[in-house]
Amino acid sequence: MSWASPEDTYLSTSLASYLDRKLLVLLRDGRKLLGILRSFDQFANAVLEGACERAIVGDLYCDIPLGLYVIRGENVVLIGELAQKAEREASDLKGTMRKRMEFLDLD
Tens-level pLDDT at each residue, the chain (107 residues): 445 555 555 545 688 888 999 999 999 999 999 999 999 998 889 999 999 999 988 888 899 999 999 999 999 999 988 876 666 666 666 666 666 666 666 55
User: Is 0.75 surpassed by the pTM of this model?
Assistant: no
- Return the amino acid letter for 72: R
Please choose, from the candidates 50, 45, 106, 107, the residue with its C-alpha nearest in 3D space to the C-alpha of residue 73.
Answer: 45
Number of other residues whose CB lies within 10 A of the CB of residue 82: 14
